[in-house]
Structure 1
Amino acid sequence: MDAIRHIACLAFADVMSLDVTGPLQVFASANVERKRQGLPACYVLHLLGPAAGPVKTSAGFALVAEQAWSEVDPARLDTVLIPGGMTMDVQCQDQALLEWLRDAERQVRRLGSICSGALVLAAAGLLQGRQATTHWSDMEALCRHEGIEVQGDRLHTYDPTGRDGDAHVFTSAGVTAGIDLALALVEADLDRPTALAVARRLVLFLRRPGGQTQFSALLTPEPSRTPRLAALLEWIPANLAADLSLEALAVQAKMAPRSLSRAFVQELGMGPGKYVERVRLEAARTLLQDAQASIATVARLTGFGHPENLRRTFHKHLSVSPQDYAERFGRPTSD
Structure 2
Amino acid sequence: MDAIRHIACLSFAEVMSLDVTGPLQVFASANVERQRQGLPPAYVLHVLGPEAGPVKTSAGFALVAEQAWRDVDPASLDTLLVPGGMQIENLCKDAALLEWLRQAEPRVRRLGSICSGALVLAAAGLLDGRLATTHWADVAALNEHCAVEVQGDRLHTYDPTGRNGDAHVFTSAGVTAGIDLALALVETDLGRPLALAVARHLVLFLRRPGGQAQYSALLTPDPSRTPKLTALLEWIPANLGGDLSLEALAAQAKMAPRSLSRAFTRELGVGPGKYVERVRLEAARALLQDAQASIATVARLTGLGHPETLRRIFHKHLSVSPQEYAERFGRSTFERG
- Report the TM-score, using the length of structure 2 for normalisation: 0.85
Q: How does 1:198-209 map to 2 (within 5 A)?
A: 198-199=198-199, 201-202=201-202, 208-209=208-209
Q: What is the CA-CA distance between 1:111 and the residue it aligns to?
A: 1.2
Write the distance in 2 (CA, Å) between the matches of 1:159 and 1:192: 14
Write the distance in 1 (CA, Å) between the matches of 2:89 and 2:71: 23
Contact 1:206–1:329 under 8 Å retained in 2: no
Residue identity matched to 1:108: V
Residue identity matched to 2:146: E
The question of 1:261 aligning with 2:261 is answered yes
Deviations 1:112-132 (A, max 9, x none): 112221111011111111222
The alignment partner of 2:46 has SS state of: strand
Deviations 1:184-227 (A, max 9, x none): 3334444556555545544556655443235212x323434433
Residue identity matched to 2:124: A
**Structure 2 partner of 1:97:** 97
Contact 2:294–2:334 under 8 Å retained in 1: no
The alignment partner of 2:13 has SS state of: coil
Count residues in correspondence.
334
Contact 1:24–1:45 under 8 Å retained in 2: yes
Contact 2:294–2:336 under 8 Å retained in 1: yes
**Structure 2 partner of 1:252:** 252
Q: What is the CA-CA distance between 1:175 and the residue it aligns to?
A: 3.1
The alignment partner of 1:309 has SS state of: helix
Residue identity matched to 1:11: S
**Structure 1 partner of 2:31:** 31
Identity value in percent: 81
**Structure 2 partner of 1:78:** 78
**Structure 2 partner of 1:113:** 113
Contact 2:20–2:83 under 8 Å retained in 1: yes
Contact 1:264–1:272 under 8 Å retained in 2: yes
**Structure 2 partner of 1:216:** 217
Residue identity matched to 1:124: A
Write the distance in 2 (CA, Å) between the matches of 1:233 and 1:200: 42
Deviations 1:64-122 (A, max 9, x none): 21222233332332221101233333322333322322232223232111222111101
Deviations 1:295-334 (A, max 9, x none): 3443333333333333332222222223332333333543
Q: What is the CA-CA distance between 1:147 and the residue it aligns to?
A: 0.9
**Structure 2 partner of 1:182:** 182
Q: How does 1:143-292 map to 2 (within 5 A)?
A: 143-190=143-190, 194-195=194-195, 198-199=198-199, 201-202=201-202, 208-210=208-210, 211-217=212-218, 219-292=219-292
Write the distance in 2 (CA, Å) between the matches of 1:2 and 1:259: 64
Residue identity matched to 1:263: A
Write the distance in 1 (CA, Å) between the matches of 2:17 and 2:89: 18
Deviations 1:12-46 (A, max 9, x none): 23323222122212222333344445554322211
Structure 1 residue runs without a partner (length 5+): none
Write the distance in 2 (CA, Å) between the matches of 1:288 and 1:39: 42
Alpha-carbon spacing, 1:64–1:258, altered in 2? closer, same or farther (3 Å):
same
Greater mean deviation of Cα atoms: 315-324 or 29-38:
29-38
Alpha-carbon spacing, 1:207–1:232, altered in 2? closer, same or farther (3 Å):
farther
- Report the TM-score, using the length of structure 1 for normalisation: 0.85
RMSD (Å) for aligned C-alpha atoms: 2.9
Write the distance in 2 (CA, Å) between the matches of 1:227 and 1:67: 50
Contact 1:155–1:214 under 8 Å retained in 2: no
Write the distance in 1 (CA, Å) between the matches of 2:36 and 2:274: 46
**Structure 1 partner of 2:308:** 308
Write the distance in 1 (CA, Å) between the matches of 2:260 and 2:196: 44
Greater mean deviation of Cα atoms: 249-258 or 136-145:
136-145
The alignment partner of 2:106 has SS state of: helix
The alignment partner of 1:244 has SS state of: coil
Structure 2 residue runs without a partner (length 5+): none
Deviations 1:246-289 (A, max 9, x none): 22221222222222223223332322222222222222223333
Residue identity matched to 1:334: R
Write the distance in 1 (CA, Å) between the matches of 2:106 and 2:175: 26
